[in-house]
Amino acid sequence: METTEINNYIGEKIRNLRNLNGLTQQELADRTELTKGFISQLERGQVSASVVTLFDLIECLGSTPAEFFRQETEQVVFSENEYFEKIDDDGNSIQWIIPSAQKYQMEPLLVVLQPHSRLEEDKPHTGEEFGFLISGRLTLHLGEKIYNIKAGESFYYKAAVSHYISNPGNRPAKLIWISSPPEF
């Protein structure tokens, strides 16, 4: 990382922390015995602060050096060994393929439904559900209506009525099922 990039990174972090604390540049300058002009230049990446000055700024902003320099990265790719799997008495498998998906807007599942079996009925709830059948056949029971689904087809519905899926076929059915917001 070049000096310019480091200065811009530090300046942006200082500005964000200052704004989170509801401080003006002048208020931060007064607390740290620096000038408003220096704070302004620092936030724009035009000057570098000494280590002592930077640590003083970080402390005045209610943070620590460890928190300040920690780079939070959101996980984007998840591997199979991170999945959580539940297998019911009939051998049906539900895999939560995004760990801790409850904190997100959607909860994707990989479901394998054994021949001539069904998943437990879901009571009506808020949100919507989507499924894509990878292989096999499914029957979607949505309130009083029944929909037959073949491999390569998808389904989408508001979960305002009782619903469940069953596998009428002689081989396992494999599907991606997404609930929004997470309800499973």
Q: What is the residue extent of each domain of the chain?
A: 3-69, 80-180
Question: pLDDT (tens digit, 9 = 90+) per residue, 7-66?
Answer: 998 999 999 999 988 999 999 999 999 999 999 999 999 999 999 999 999 999 999 998
Mean pLDDT of 131-136: 98
Q: Residue 141 and residue 150: Cα distance in Å, rounded?
A: 14
Q: How high is the mean pLDDT of the chain?
A: 92
Give residue 72's pLDDT: 66
**Under 8 Å CB-to-CB from 179, ≥6 apart: which residues?**
106, 107, 109, 127, 128, 129, 159
* pTM for this entry: 0.62
Tokens of 1: 């990382």
Q: What's domain 80-180's architecture?
A: Sandwich (2.60)
Q: What was the pLDDT predicted at 78?
A: 87
**Which is the CATH superfamily of the domain at 3-69?**
lambda repressor-like DNA-binding domains (1.10.260.40)
